[in-house]
Amino acid sequence: MTPDIADRVRQASGFIFDMDGTIALGDAASGGHRALPGAIELLAAIKARGIPLCVFTNGTAKPPAAYARSLRSAGFDLADGEMMTPSSSAAAWFVKRGIRRVRVLGNAGVAAPLREAGITCIGPAERASEVEAVYTGWFREFTFPDLEAACQSVWDGALVTTASHVPFFATAHGRAIGASFAINAMIAAMTGKRAKVLGKPSRTAFDTAADAMGIARADRGRIVIVGDDPALEMRMARTVGATGIGMTTGIMKPAALATLKPAERPHAIIETLRALHDLI
Ligand SMILES: [Mg+2]
């Protein structure tokens, strides 16, 4: 890490952490998490200094409060309000645009933040008219009738939006397929419409996290984003002009760093979160 980047970490106005592969690894079988080395101590140290933080996963299998509970079980001191998923930022985006009727291709965890925001969530294959947007997320139960209903809504004028559009995420057992990526591909093939991403790496996701942390616009360039996925956290950092710290404990492989596009390159790479703990 260069002295300049170390200074940016020391002067951070807030921290956005990724979850899987960055501070913890999920166990697909148990649904639980285990903390990665130094993660619990680092988050505690940041909070002790009064610096705001949030954990923003691109997973939507559970509502934010359930992820927060899982991380607390793994030993983290994390409030429900410090945990976000793409459905947190999707709900904010829909509300801002006055979109009230959304067909959700996802499980209960995908829909929960939308429902809490007062949005009418239409079931995947439910017959409905005047659907304003189709929203895809974690949905391994996806079936052909769901595809037909989603495409019909799009042909009738609904926007196509998604929690996440990356093919893989890190688990304790290696990489797993991102469900919405595959569903988006099918919808795009049928309708010609590519899904608008509302989770990471979108500006919508960043702004929703900054809002939740109470960080003023003028201070958002001093937010530090820590993650293991070049296409998600590092792209988001580069897009919004924040600082991206890359972890090698998940998707990002040191050998592949040289081949990364400039728009997805971390400002610094660390192998353990203890490297950040020493700076703050
Ligand atoms: Mg990750």
Ligand 1 centroid–CA 123 distance in Å is 28
* Pick from 130, 179, 178: nearest CA to 158: 130
* Ligand 1 centroid to residue 154 C-alpha, Å: 30
Å from CA of 126 to ligand 1 middle:
32
Residue range 96-197 forms a domain whose CATH class is alpha beta
Question: 170 CA distance to ligand 1 centroid (A)?
Answer: 6
Burial of 145 (0-12, 13-18, 19+ CB in 10 A): exposed
- Among residues 155, 173, 158, 178, which one has the least CA distance to residue 57? 178
Tell how far the Cα of 77 is from the centroid of ligand 1, in angstroms.
19
User: In which residue ranges of the chain is CATH 3.40.50.1000 found?
Assistant: 3-86+200-277, 96-197
Distance 18 CA to ligand 1 centre (A): 6
Please give the average pLDDT of every successive group of 10 residues along the chain, which has 280 residues: 95 97 80 91 98 96 95 96 98 97 96 97 97 97 97 98 90 84 98 98 98 97 96 97 93 82 95 93
Least Cα distance to 176 among 164, 184, 168, 166 occurs for 168
**Residue 245 near residue 276 (C-beta atoms within 8 A):** yes
CA of 213 to the centre of ligand 1 (A): 20
Query: What is the Å distance from ligand 1's center to 247 Cα?
Result: 9
Q: How many degrees, rounded to 5, is the angle at CA 109 between CA 53 and CA 141? A: 140
Cα(128) to ligand 1 centroid in Å equals 35
Helix-, strand-, coil-residue percentages of the chain, each rounded to 5: 40, 20, 40
Q: Compute the distance from residue 130 Cα to the ligand 1 centre, in Å.
A: 36
How far apart are the CA of 152 and the centre of ligand 1, in A? Answer: 33
CA–centroid distance, residue 215 to ligand 1 (Å): 23
Looking at CATH, the fold of the domain delimited by 3-86+200-277 is given as Rossmann fold (3.40.50)
Q: How much distance in Å is there from the Cα of 191 to the middle of ligand 1?
A: 30
Query: In the chain, how many H helices and how many E strands?
Result: 10, 15
Phi, psi angle pair for 16, to nearest 5°: -110, 120
**100 Cα: distance to centroid of ligand 1 (angstroms):** 30
Instruction: Give distance in angstroms: CA of 272 to centre of ligand 1.
Output: 14
In this prediction, residue 256 carries a pLDDT of: 77
User: From the CA of 24, how far away is ligand 1's center (Å)?
Assistant: 9
Q: Spell out the residues 6+ positions from residue 41 whose beta carbon is closer than 8 angstroms to its own.
A: 273, 274, 277
Judged by DSSP in three states, 64 sits in: helix
Per the CB < 8 A criterion, the answer to whether 54 and 84 are in contact is yes
Confidence at residue 275, expressed as pLDDT on a 0 to 100 scale: 93
Separation of CA 2 and ligand 1 centre (Å): 24
Q: What distance in angstroms lies between residue 228's CA and the mean position of ligand 1's atoms?
A: 5
Q: Which helix (H) or strand (E) holds 17?
A: strand 14-17
pLDDT of residue 250: 78
Q: Which residues contact 233 (CB under 8 A, 6 or more apart)?
A: 16, 18, 22, 200, 201, 225, 226, 227, 244, 246
Q: What is the pLDDT of residue 171?
A: 75
Q: How far is CA 133 from the centre of its chain?
A: 20
CA of 153 to the centre of ligand 1 (A): 32
pLDDT of residue 253: 80
- Distance from residue 175's CA to the centre of ligand 1 (Å): 10
Rounded distance from Cα 269 to ligand 1 centre (Å): 14
